[in-house]
Amino acid sequence: MENIIFYFSGTGNSYSIAKGLEKEIGDTIVVPLLRAKDYKVEEYGIVGFVFPVYYTHVPEIVIRAIEGIRFRKDQLVFALATYGGSWGYALKDIREALSDKEIILQEYKIKTPGNYILEYSAFPRSYQEGILKKAERKISKIASSILESKRTGYIKANLLARMFHKRSDKQRSKFSELGSEFFASDKCLNCYQCVKLCPTDNITLSEGILVWGSKCAQCMACIQWCPQKAVSHPLVKKSRKNYTNPKVTISQRGDLVLKEN
Ligand SMILES: Cc1cc2nc3c(=O)[nH]c(=O)nc-3n(C[C@H](O)[C@H](O)[C@H](O)COP(=O)(O)O)c2cc1C
């Protein structure tokens, strides 16, 4: 029976890990989570979800997409959170969202380079490489655990997330407001890659100018992948460096794909 892994990914970390698992597990397809309604999930073998952590929680868009999925009784489902330093309540969110489904749920997390350019620059290359190497090793271990249907237990919130949960909640409540402040500078060549990448169709063209609306999920795809570095935000200092996963690129159609070696 073929397996299916769904991913949500702004800058390629979660996508790259989903592809790594596909290779290790075999007989698996990797699909954007937002296209889940096109698939009969209950007809697949193992079902996986790979997604980033946003302010110590699962992005709302991920929860909404997962809630709509129908599973088979006793289907093996795994949730894997990618995070920069504090995974927080992410796995608890998924556990709760799936609590009424009669499935077997495995929980995993993998540390990846942080991508939140509104707060910080990309980490130095050597540091990124170190984190990504460790992530690679973890992919193999997780794939074995998935194939053996091991019981993983609950992943509880880390101390840092518990200590700063009020600040995180406040930041999450600003996503829509912050999202509407992105803009394209005069370096923009109207390739509209940002428009194609946006998971919420939040970027539109108004009188020849790109405008960001109020539906932003804060995935950072528009700003991080812009080939001209034309997308910016009032919170982003000029010296800040972009981050996208080094193994991933964007296809002509505007989909995340692995780079060819
Ligand atoms: C809006 C936003 C909030 C984030 N909050 C957290 C966080 O609370 N804890 C953490 O460890 N990483 C946080 N990150 C970093 C991402 O979870 C991490 O880089 C992730 O791997 C990105 O995945 P992607 O490349 O698939 O989009 C945040 C990133 C963004 C864009």
Domains of the chain by residue range: 3-162, 174-251
What is residue 67's predicted lDDT score, i.e. its pLDDT?
A: 92
Nearest protein Cα to ligand 1, atom 19:
114
Q: How far apart are CA 244 and CA 11, in angstroms?
A: 5
Report whether residue 193 contacts ligand 1, using a CB cutoff of 6 Å: no
Q: Does the C-beta of 199 come closer than 6 Å to ligand 1? A: no
pTM, two decimals, is: 0.98
Question: CATH assignment of 174-251?
Answer: 3.30.70.20
- Per DSSP, the three-state class of 88 is coil
Scanning the structure block, which residue is given the tokens 């996503």? 175
For the Cβ of 171 lying below 6 angstroms from any atom of ligand 1, the answer is no
* pLDDT surpasses 90 at 152: yes
- Calculate Rg over the CA atoms of the chain: 18
Span 3-162: which CATH code?
3.40.50.360
pLDDT in tens, 65-105: 999 899 999 999 999 999 999 999 999 999 999 999 999 99
Pocket test of ligand 1: the residue of 53, 138, 171, 198 to mutate, having most ligand atoms within 8 Å of its CB, is 53
Tokens of 230: 């034309």
165 three-state secondary structure:
helix
- Residue written as tokens 């034309």? 230
The CA-to-CA distance between both ends of the chain, in Å, stands at: 30
Q: Is the dihedral of CA 56, 62, 68, 72 positive or negative?
A: negative
